[in-house]
Amino acid sequence: MNRDADVTLREDRRLLPPEAVFGLSVDRLGPIRAEDFERSSQSEESPLELIEGWPLPITPGTYSTGSALGQLFSLLAPLVRERGWSMSLDARHRLPQPPDTVVFPDLVIHCVAEVTCVPGTETVARVPEIVVEILGRETAARDRPPHGAKFLAYQVSGVQEYYFAWPDGREAAGFHLRHGSFVAAPHAAGGFFASPLLGASLCLVPAALRRE
């Protein structure tokens, strides 16, 4: 195979549009394999995620973000326990698509009691059914449609429900996976989104739940 053909083949294997990953002002330290990324140490002041082999900065935790997530976690915990599911905050997940993608979703719900990890690591190997992201300055473009890298990675990996908002509730949005693509979730008055998996309507900020 000649060099030009090899370059074309490698580019064809990319699952995210170039603007999803490279339209950011970051140092291109990649590509890096997921296994190598997971073994590297993380700086608490400058944490990183890996999107298709490229390390990208994520927002360090803030008081407002932590407060919004804490309220949401407390609200959902009784329902999650009732269903026998599992839920976590800021847990490292390796997504199956695109390759070499390791992310830290703000809040995830797995519709199973226990999740498996990548052998030898604490990286969750299972795709969550529900993901919630609280937007931050460094990550907002990555979390939102139409070309956000994490938005697309969640979509191609099979996340069933995806929600995001700023810590003050601005730009709240929800999406459900339909035939392999995210479609906007039904939006009711008061900032509530219908969640088929939860069997309830969910408001992110302020956290609220209306059971059906």
Q: Are 45 and 91 in contact (CB under 8 A)?
A: no
Q: Are 51 and 141 in contact (CB under 8 A)?
A: no
Count CB neighbours of 88 within 10 A. 17
Instruction: Please give the pLDDT value at position 42.
Output: 82
In DSSP terms, 161 is beta-bridged to 130, 176
Instruction: Please give the pLDDT value at position 15.
Output: 67
The pLDDT tens digits for 131-172 are 999 999 888 999 999 989 999 999 999 999 999 999 999 999
Examine the pLDDT at 194 and tell me if it is beyond 50: yes
- Using 50, 70 and 90 to split pLDDT, how confident is the model at 198? very high
- Using 50, 70 and 90 to split pLDDT, how confident is the model at 28? low
CA dist 122 → 38, 92, 113, 115 (Å): 9, 7, 17, 11
Residue 195 neighbours by CB under 8 Å, 6+ apart: 130, 161, 174, 185, 201, 202
Average pLDDT, the chain: 88
**How far apart, in Å, do the first and last CA atoms of the chain sit?**
59
The dihedral through the CA atoms of 76, 96, 90, 25 has a sign that is negative
Sheet holding 161-165: strands in order across?
86-89, 107-110, 130-134, 161-165, 173-178, 181-184
**Would you say how long the chain is, in residues?**
212
Instruction: Please give the pLDDT value at position 1.
Output: 34
- Using 50, 70 and 90 to split pLDDT, how confident is the model at 2? very low
* pLDDT average, residue stretch 80-98: 97
* pLDDT average, residue stretch 12-28: 59
Residue 11 neighbours by CB under 8 Å, 6+ apart: none
Instruction: Please give the pLDDT value at position 22.
Output: 57
Structure-token pair, residue 104? 């830290």
The domain covering 3-211 belongs, at the CATH homologous superfamily level, to tt1808, chain A (3.90.1570.10)
Distance (Å, whole) CA 44 – CA 42:
6
Higher-confidence position of 183 and 189: 183
Examine the pLDDT at 55 and tell me if it is beyond 90: no
